[in-house]
Homo-oligomer: A and B are copies of this chain.
Amino acid sequence: MGIIVQKFGGTSVADAQKIHNAANAVIREKENGNDVIVVVSAMGHTTDHLIKLAKEITPNPDSRELDMLLSTGEQVSIALLAMAVQSGGYKAISLTGQQVGIITENIHSKARIVNIKTEKLKQFLNQGNIIIVAGFQGITEDGEITTLGRGGSDTSAVAIAAALNAERCDIYTDVEGVYATDPRIVPNIQKTDVISYEEMLELARVGANVLHPRSVETAKQFNVPLRVRSSFKLDNMGTLIIGVDNMEIYKPVAGVASDSSQVRILLSNLPDIPGTAAKLFGALAQNNISVDMIIQSLARNGENSIAFTVAEEDLNATLETIKNQKDIILTGEILTDNDIAKVSIVGAGMVDRPGIAASMFRALSEKNINIKMISTSEIKISCLVEKNNAKDAIKALCKEFGLESSEEAVVKGDLPDV
């Protein structure tokens, strides 16, 4: 048998009972005959609590010292989980990021992993140990403690799986897997059994927050099979995330997602001078404003209009940037519209099957939902609709593409993980 990497998030190790529960999942995998490496996040709200402590000292704590502080959270979890596995009668050893040798860039609070040393991991596995590794943390070549930022623990787990050529990386969480849409909107939504990295990335970007895109990107890059599964229902195999090449069958539409946090900006009657769009979006990029959907249309009198969407929190900065671009001649109006929701269907199967877009538009029109803007990529079609139509749009699309199930999904509070 091979190496299985397991990752437990903060909610899965929030108290002694849950830590024993996680230990059971670890021991079960060991009893399957696998070598097991476990990556753990900080318990429950530990990270928030530590940040609060720091803010009591100073409103702007130094990022190096904040990393020194926050990295203790995972160190507590690994020691406790190792104790729990040992109390179950198995050899276990905990290792910090420094002890493993999870080498990162010399950047604090959001370092990227550059290398994972495997000697110590292999040595301890060979001695029959279950290894418990602190997620979210690493160390620079100079011995400085770093943290990996959002999605860090998932990324630690995937990177370790990649470094050791592990058979699989199992992400244990408090949901039963990946659903085709938010079960709070469509209670009888199907759990997805298999999904591709690409689909998962598109779903993650449009709001399905089971996995941080960063960990999925890393898994895709190194072709590490990922499984999202429940810490509390060990018999449930959750959702397997693999390369599209390895999928034998897939549905044309794997999931439906929505995002209501954007605002649309319309610049009307721009003079049709070459380079206007380049100047505009170049200036926005320079100010770190991410633009999502963009549509440019030529009006009858030779003038353009450009519509695009940005995150609501970037609206003011966006308007400021546009007005400061002296070399863009604004002859028309700047209209903003925040009564929008982006509803997207995602599926690797779209490529081969024509008519998916048409089915989407028809399903929406049958519910009298007006489409304000459309954008498409190879595996995604997104429509902007009015905010109060978003839920109906999701329901209609789940029905249209056969994503409903006969059972209701079981959803617990999903705390976002560091």
- Per the bound structure, the CA–CA distance linking A186 and B412 in Å amounts to 62
Decide if A68 touches B84 in the complex (CB within 8 Å). Answer: no
Decide if B57 touches A84 in the complex (CB within 8 Å). Answer: yes
- Per the bound structure, the CA–CA distance linking A74 and B86 in Å amounts to 25
- Per the bound structure, the CA–CA distance linking A65 and B66 in Å amounts to 24
**Stretch from A48-56, A259-267, A361-369, A370-378 at the B interface:** A48-56
Decide if A57 touches B94 in the complex (CB within 8 Å). Answer: no
Stoichiometry (number of copies): 2
**Stretch from A24-32, A75-83, A249-257 at the B interface:** A75-83
Residues of chain B with a CB closer than 8 A to A145's CB = 96, 99
Decide if A53 touches B65 in the complex (CB within 8 Å). Answer: no
Decide if B54 touches A83 in the complex (CB within 8 Å). Answer: yes
Decide if A80 touches B99 in the complex (CB within 8 Å). Answer: no
- Per the bound structure, the CA–CA distance linking A69 and B79 in Å amounts to 5
Q: Does A87 contact B (CB under 8 A)?
A: yes
Q: Does A402 contact B (CB under 8 A)?
A: no
Q: Does A2 contact B (CB under 8 A)?
A: no
Residues of chain B with a CB closer than 8 A to A65's CB = 79-80, 82-83, 86, 94
Q: Does A333 contact B (CB under 8 A)?
A: no
Decide if B80 touches A53 in the complex (CB within 8 Å). Answer: yes
Partner-B contacts on A (CB < 8 A): 16, 19-20, 50, 53-54, 56-58, 61-62, 64-66, 68-69, 71-72, 75-76, 78-80, 82-84, 86-87, 93-94, 96, 98-99, 143, 145
